[in-house]
Structure 1
Amino acid sequence: MTLLTGVPLLIGTLQVPHAAAAGAAAPGPHAVSVTINAMSPVAPGKGDTVTVSGTLTNDTRNAITDAHVGLHRGAALSDRSSIEAVTKRTGYLLGADGKEIGNHTEKVDRLDPGTSRTFTLNVPVKDLDLSGDGVYPLGVTLSGRTPSSSYDQVLGIDRTLLPWQGSAPAKKTQLTYLWPLISSTHLAAETGADTQQTPVFRDDKLAAEIAPGGRLQKMVELGKNLPVTFVIDPDLLATVEAMTKPYRVHGPDGPAGRNQAVAKQWLNDLENAVTGHEVVALPFGDPDLASLAHHGKSVPSALSHLGPATELASKTVDTILGVKPRTDFTWPVNGAVDSSIVDVATSAGAHNVITRGDSLRDNNLPYTPTAARPIGGGNTAIVSDTRLSQAFEGDMSKSGNASLAIQEFLAEAQMIGLENPEQQRSVVVAPQRMPSAAQAQAMAGALRNLEQAGWTQPTKLGDAAKAKPDPDANRQIPSRSSYPSSLRRQELPVDAFRQIEDTQTALDDFQVVLAQPERVVTPFGNAIMRATSTSWRGDPKGAAAFRTSVRDYLDGLTKKVHLIRKSEATLSGRSATIPVTVQNNLLQGVQGLTLRLTSSQPNRLDVGKSQQIKVDGGHSQSFKFETTANANGLAWVTARLYTADGKPYGAPMTFRVNVTEITATVMLVIAGGVLLLVLAGVRIYLQRKRAAAEGTGDEENGEDSGGSTAEGKDDDNGGPGEDSPEQPSDPTSDTGSDKSGPSGSGEKVDR
């Protein structure tokens, strides 16, 4: 049997013309493209008729005449590797493709150059002469003549697979199919400058995915009636939930989002779809476990987000869908693992790692083993089947591709059961993370037909993880050096994790000063988780731009709490108060900050003690510092805010203080003294004038005053005249230093 199945690989590119008598062959041109678009039933029963339809296209410059379409059945295939060989083979080979089944052909009189036409063949199952249970190759050929050939020959062929089983197997293969609901990152860290914190989207592309006909809408619509396990990134749910409310699209004049109705409908449909299904929640944001393992471990805080991401995943799904999800599964990219990835994947409590058969190979087994493999430490590797998982990765928008993929999927599933029919196996299928709408349609078609065929029984992922492991299956986790280089090139670099760590540190410093820290911690914490998403693979520029935007927005918020710049202040005295103003342009209040002044000349100017500050949102507040001047001259004063743990907050503010001795109060005292002197002089003048008047009156009355005044002698005689010396009890005037100048025109200082 091995030799027979190997022959087609050697000469499979030959095209053999029909010989009327003995079937002798000679190579013929590959002139016509034959495409099988559909086959039904996909897995026929005994009394069914197989219908194969498709398209013929003449790729030559000559007309093809006297042609017909025929069906060929090859011998039953022996194993899964031979299935793959059939789908890759080109050209007609009589020994492998078998003779044409007579009496079931379709005549084609003429096929002009460059033209196409459809065909349909109907063949009863009994005429296929199926010898027993198994997978049979079917070939559709166009045979005819060309101007250069006077005899009929096969001018083109296309193949498909026919799985056939007369009765249900005694032990059906248990099959778990993962149905992923995952998207790329759409929400920004930014929120609107309002009390509702209106979410801001990076773009509005998610609306097309969840709208009718979109890929995520199709996934929900199809998955509702399929025996699948939903695997959900909770970030997708949180993003769509944010879309149900007023939102804005990022940009200088970003428009208001208008897809609230679409978002509400999708969430409602999903809530209904998951009813009765198992739901597995990936860590929030679907973190790239391989990137974390290979590059993030060198950054101390990188792995600290996995635990919170897992907790948030459970809370998000439960809150939005009303379903308690399983969070004990992780899913590295493409199921590729090594020892370091497994360590990271299980570090947050998820002890089941979904991997793939091309990571844990079973080269020495003649059958497909059960998916669950204990790998030590209480952890289990769930090894998904590689071929079944990759069955729908192509362009399924072409009906021919979708039809062949469905037939191949069913053939592989049947062959698993035929490999060792006495031993029941549990198989897991983990398809591509973000299937297109066409791929989802093909996947759903395969599952519906598989359910009708009755060769398998659907199983939940949780049950697959508990299945009895095959003792002969490979359980050795590959080393780090064996990780595929193509995937390694797409990983986030170490610098990305350093930038994420710096952003987290800045967020930690910022939140401690806020009166309502949750308004900032939630959107930024989620954004930091999104920065490590697997969706950034293949988009390094987008990933870098997202990380930078998160940090820039955070820096912009922290700068909204700042010190208002001061001009030069003049301190004209021994002591005074210096006001420093804190501006808070946030919507919420700040507290727990300390405002501290530092003098460049503390021996000249003592700026007083630091102060605890509290400023309401949208307000500014001045804080007054009692200062003491010890000497004249200039001093630079630096004002800065500090967090409770002594870390500087924001930029410092420096201003100049000019220290003098003449203060406004002293000037008032001097002015008051001058006024008193003037008043004293006026009093003396009035007294002397009155005395003189009295003296004149006495003379007129014959009285002699004795030549003296009523108030006593003048200054020469020591009386209280205008120039009398200062008394010990008089206040000492504050005249200031000889070098002191007038007060500058700078900022006034409160005293």
Structure 2
Amino acid sequence: MAPRLRRSASGLLAVLVTLLALAGLAAPAASVVPGAVPASRTTPTPSPTAADASPVRVQITEVTPAVLRPGEDLVVRARLTNTTGDEIADPRAVVQLERIRPSTRADLQTWLDEPVDSSRSGRSLATVPAEAPLAPGASVELEVTVPADAVGLLDRPDTWGARGLAVAATDGRRRVGLQRSFVLWATESDDVAQARVSLLVPVVGPAAVPSGSEVTPPGPTLTELVQPGRRLDDALQIARSSADVALVVDPALVASARAGGDASDWANALSAAAVGRDVVALPWSDPDLTALAHADADGLLDAAVQASATAAVEGARPLAARSDVLWSSGPTTDQATVDLAARSSASVLVLAPDDLRADGDVAGARTTLESPAGNVVGLVPDATLTTLLADPQQLDPDATTATVVQRVLAELSVLARGSGEGLQHVLVALPREADPDPALVGAVLAGVQGAPWSRTAPLTALLGSRGDDADRAPLAATAVTADTLDPAAVGRLAVTRDATIAFAGVTDDAPSLLAGVDADVLAPLATGWRKDPVRRLVLVDAVVAQVDARRVGLTLAQTSSRNIISADSEVRFSVRNDLPAAASVRVQTTPRKACLRTEPSATVVVPAGGEEVVPVAVHAIANCEVVVEAVLTSVDGAPLAAPVSFVVRASPTIESVGTAVVGVLLAVGLVLGVVRTVRRGQSARRGARRVHDDAGTRPLPVLGGTRDEDDA
């Protein structure tokens, strides 16, 4: 038995060796020199086991051309970084391509979500080795060229679009790392649908602070933010990369920058860059719309919009900007915010990227937001594209400019294919605090313009496009978060503003008294203050106290107790005006018992720096002692100074009361007597009677008149 088993094992071993040899002849190894092997001679790269790690970080740094056409070679550059403490003995870069075209955006994401050890990574088209082993922590740049005839994509009118691209790092034949991206394939057909892309760049922050305030805003200062490489300077560089970029500007920021210092040069450059493009003027200080909506503070939003418009007229914002666009404070938007926008002068509301999500790829950026106050145009930013431009590392920690460009073009190719009913228009709205790389954004916009299925477009083109009727998820039930300013605090700001406006309205120079009030009140409402809710409440207290202090200068003098012994009398009050302008005032008194009635005084003009006496009529009904509160008010009844209280002892005399009563009774009796006499008329015993004289007895006329001569 033993010899027979040995002979069987030897025969089996010979068969295996023969099969392996034949396999080696049928599938030769991939090229190990720069270049590529024909598609017919490629072999799939072996996939690692689940227990294998990814010791090499792969980053695709260049895909040339970004849009590949028939007859062109594909060149891919990748950086391989050894993240382990062991040497990679035989590092190689392998370019792989999946030839099945993704049909939806979900298919694109599925390709990117495949794990490193997945067998789905496409066919290997070319391999390039490093010149030396890769030491721990070291990196190497490798360039792989795939000849045009190895690409293997069909040149037909309907084959354009994205294909999955992967660059694998191998150590010999073992995969030790991988990054996925896309190849964009463009055929020679001219009949290609297009998608439009509009980009909004916010020019806001830091959080507003009233002049003279000791509360410091969170984050970098304006001077710091306009320095090269910082957020506001980057926004300017992004605007310069394309005339289709729309700037969303806080006029308060521009006014502050123009006030002087290092930021003035930046403000001038921003004004120059704004020429010829769409510019949106946000309400003054970029107030938190969510906080205003849930506090029913429509007046504060109107004040912010008006402040921006006034700045434009006065030249503080030399930008030809539209002011009918509001931008949700995020991170989500609720119906209350939509209702606030509808009640205001706005016609457009830019939502947060996660609002109104729609199933599928047919939803565009423009939709209609319904509200009891009227409909508003809603602009819904594309969440994926916005993240790719603002912070691509959220989606891929190993993202590079090349992979971002390729993914944006892949997303747009799918959108363009789904736009059979018209142009698909998407919006990218960079978050307020985002600091994107201007070079990255510029490369993306250039790629969008270079692809046959996409173009950039200004904001006005998006607003003029046809809205979609896609089925969307409803808005969030509420957008209030822990960092949203409390409605009570918003109400305090609104009350102090309204009171100050009423106070200034009684003077001949209201603008002087109100200068800076709106800017002060709106400062704590700035969206930028969400980063520091604690200090924001301190600022609210400071602003309320500062604005309240403006309502001084008009004084109602304290009066002593009064004794009133007549039914009708008057109380005279002294009003002092220390304001630089004349004031029109009234005094209103309120007795705490019904035994005394009072009337508001007539309007009295108190000159600047002067004093006037204001009489108030009082009417005593009965004997009593009553406390009366007097308030100095405007013509409309708004209080202007602290009230004063005094005691009135009313003792109307019997004669005064009796005279009034008797007079009323006599007047009533007289009227009744006349009416009674007229209604009863003349009778045989009333009005006509006879008199006796020398001529005899004769009748007198009615009511004692003399007889006519003809009757003699």
* Fold shared, TM-score > 0.5 on shorter chain: yes
How far off its partner does 1:65 sit? 0.8
Distance of 1:21 and 1:386 partners within structure 2: 38
Structure 1 residues 232, 64: closer, same or farther in 2, change over 3 A? closer
Q: 1:399 to 1:562 in 2, by over 3 A?
A: farther
Aligned residue identity for 1:131: L
Quote how far apart the aligned CAs of 1:153 are.
0.6
Structure 2 counterpart of 1:126, which letter?
A
Match of 1:386 in 2: 383
Give 1:205 deviation, angstroms. Answer: 0.7
Task: Give the Å deviation of 1:654.
Answer: 10
Q: Per the alignment, do residues 45 and 517 of structure 1 end up closer, same or farther by CA in structure 2, a change over 3 Å counting?
A: farther
**3-state SS, counterpart of residue 389 of structure 2:** coil
Matches within 5 A, 1:170-209: 170-184=191-205, 186-190=207-211, 205-209=221-225
Q: For residues 454 and 441 of structure 1, do their structure 2 counterparts lie closer, same or farther at Cα, with a shift above 3 Å needed?
A: same
When structure 1 is superposed on structure 2, of 384-393 and 407-416 the one drifting more is 384-393
3-state SS of the aligned residue for 1:433?
coil
Please give the secondary structure, in 2, of the residue aligned with 1:430. Answer: strand
Structure 1 residue 494, shift from structure 2 partner: 2.1
> Given the superposition, is the C-alpha separation of residues 431 and 399 from structure 1 closer, same or farther in structure 2, using an over 3 Å criterion?
farther
Residue 539 (1) aligns with residue 524 (2): no
How far has the Cα of 1:154 moved from its partner?
0.8
Check conservation: 1:427, 1:464, Cα contact below 8 A.
yes
User: Given that residues 207 and 523 in structure 2 are in contact (C-alpha distance below 8 angstroms), is that contact kept between their aligned partners in structure 1?
Assistant: no
Aligned CA distance change for structure 1 residues 514 and 44 (closer, same or farther; 3 Å): farther
Instruction: Tell whether the 8 Å contact from 1:357 to 1:383 is kept in structure 2 after alignment.
Output: yes
Equivalent position to 2:66, from 42, 52, 64: 42
Instruction: State the SS of the aligned residue for 2:67.
Output: coil
Report what 2:280 is aligned to: 280
Q: Distance in 2 between matches of 1:372 and 1:350?
A: 15
Distance in 1, matches of 2:588 and 2:480, equals 52
SS of equivalent to 1:143? strand
In the alignment, which residue of structure 2 is the partner of 1:237? 251
**2:89 paired with 1:93:** no
SS at match of 2:181: strand
Paired with 2:350 and 2:295, the residues of 1 have a C-alpha distance of 21
Q: Decide whether aligned partners of structure 1 residues 162 and 484 sit closer, same or farther in structure 2, where only a CA change above 3 A counts.
A: farther
> Which residue in the other structure is 2:129 paired with?
106
What are the within-5 Å matches in structure 2 for residues 584-733 of structure 1?
Answer: 584=578, 588-589=580-581, 591-592=583-584, 642-645=633-636, 647-651=638-642
In structure 2, how many angstroms separate the alpha carbons of the residues matched to 1:647 and 1:374? 41
Work out the CA distance in 2 between the residues paired with 1:22 and 1:353.
51
Displacement after TM superposition at 1:81 (Å): 0.8
CA distance in 2, matches of 1:82, 1:517: 63
SS at match of 1:217: helix
User: What is the aligned partner in structure 1 of residue 567 from structure 2?
Assistant: none
Q: Which residue identity lines up with residue 221 of structure 2 in the other structure? A: K
CA shift for structure 1 position 446: 0.8
Instruction: From the superposition, tell whether residues 390 and 625 of structure 1 become closer, same or farther in structure 2 (CA, over 3 Å).
Output: closer
Identical residues among aligned pairs (%): 19
CA contact (8 A) 2:254 2:316 kept: no
Deviations 1:166-195 (A, max 9, x none): 347535434242323332354434469xxx
Shift of 1:374: 4.1
The residue identity in structure 2 corresponding to 1:160 is: S
Cα distance change of structure 1 residues 38 and 514 upon mapping to structure 2, 3 Å threshold: farther
Distance in 2 between residues matched to 1:88 and 1:468, nearest whole Å = 34
Determine the C-alpha separation between the residues in 1 that align with 2:424 and 2:341: 23
1:122 paired to 2:144: yes
Q: 1:87 to 1:224 in 2, by over 3 A?
A: same
SS at match of 1:310: helix
CA distance in 2, matches of 1:351, 1:625: 49
Is the partner of 1:392 in helix, strand or coil?
A: helix
Answer yes or no: is 1:360 the counterpart of 2:356. yes
- What letter corresponds to residue 367 of structure 2 in structure 1? R
Structure 1's 229 and 32: CA in aligned 2 closer, same or farther, altered over 3 A?
closer
Query: C-alpha displacement at 1:161, in angstroms?
Result: 2.2
Cα distance change on mapping 1:22 and 1:416 into 2, 3 Å: closer
**2:99 aligned with 1:75:** yes
Confirm or deny: 8 A CA contact 1:595 1:639 kept in the other structure: yes
Give the superposition deviation at 1:276: 1.8
2:9 aligns with: none
The one-character-per-residue Cα deviations of 1:76-112 (angstroms, maximum 9, x if unpaired) are 4422112222333331333x2124323x413252222
The answer to whether the 8 A contact 1:385-1:430 is kept is yes
Amino acid at match of 1:286: D
**Structure 1 equivalent of residue 679 of structure 2:** none
- Alignment partners' CA distance in 2, 1:341 and 1:274: 29
Q: C-alpha separation between the residues in 1 aligned to 2:441 and 2:43? A: 44
Q: Does 1:372 align with 2:366?
A: yes
Amino acid at match of 1:332: S
CA distance in 1, matches of 2:234, 2:91: 41
> What is residue 303 of structure 1 aligned with on the other side?
298
1:210 alignment partner, one of 220, 226, 245 = 226
Aligned counterpart in structure 1 of residue 164 of structure 2, from 137, 145, 154: 137
Query: 2: distance between equivalents of 1:597 and 1:383?
Result: 56
2:546 aligned residue: 553
Alignment correspondent of 1:669: none
Return the alpha-carbon distance in structure 2 between the equivalents of residues 455 and 86 of structure 1: 21
8 Å Cα contact 1:179/1:230 also seen in 2 = yes
Q: Report 1:263-274 matches (<5 A).
A: 263-274=263-274
Per the alignment, residue 700 of structure 1 pairs with none
Residues 163 and 119 of structure 1, relative CA distance in 2, 3 Å threshold: same
Return closer, same or farther for 1:243/1:450 CA change in 2, 3 Å cut-off.
Answer: closer
Residue aligning to 1:404: 403
State the partner residue of 2:445.
447
Structure 1 residue 493 displacement after superposition: 2.6
1:55 aligned to which of 79, 101, 104: 79
**Counterpart contact for 1:594–1:642, Cα < 8 Å:** yes
Distance in 2, matches of 1:168 and 1:230, equals 32
Over the residues paired in the alignment, what is the CA RMSD in angstroms? 4.5
Runs of at least 5 residues in structure 2 that lack an aligned partner in the other structure: 1-28, 31-41, 155-159, 561-571, 591-600, 616-626, 647-712
Name the residue aligned to 2:598.
Answer: none
Distance in structure 2 (CA, Å) of the matches to 1:638 and 1:353: 49
2 CA distance for matches of 1:326 and 1:505?
27
> 1:72 offset after TM fit, Å?
1.9
Pairing partner for 1:458 from 456, 459, 469: 456
Residue type at the aligned position of 1:85:
T
Contact 1:288 1:532 in 2 (8 A): yes
Residue deviations 1:133-185 (CA, integer Å, cap 9, x gap): 221222222211xxxxxx63111112222222234753543424232333235
Q: Contact (CA 8 Å) 1:391, 1:405: kept in 2 or not?
A: yes
Contact 2:209/2:217 (8 A) holds in 1 = yes
Give the CA deviation at 1:360.
2.9
d(CA) in 1 for partners of 2:312, 2:614: 53
Give 1:296's aligned amino acid: A
Which AA in structure 1 matches 2:165? Answer: L
Change (3 A) 1:430 1:201: same
Aligned to 1:155: 176
Shift of residue 330 of structure 1? 2.9
> CA 1:189 to 1:490, structure 2 compared with 1: closer, same or farther past 3 Å?
closer
Aligned 8 A contact 1:224 1:274 in 2: no
Amino acid at match of 1:205: T
After superposition, the Cα gap between the structure-2 partners of 1:343 and 1:105, relative to the gap in structure 1 and judged at 3 Å, is same
Cα distance, 1:223 vs structure 2: 0.9
Residue in 1 aligned with 2:238?
A: 222
Hey, what's the Cα distance between the residues in 1 that align with 2:612 and 2:340? Answer: 50
SS for the counterpart of 2:205 is: coil
* Partner residue in 2 for 1:603: none
2:146 and 2:289 map into 1 onto residues whose CA distance is: 52
State the match for 1:427 in structure 2. 425
Structure 1: distance between partners of 2:240 and 2:47: 52
Aligned residues, how many?
567
Give the superposition deviation at 1:582: 5.6
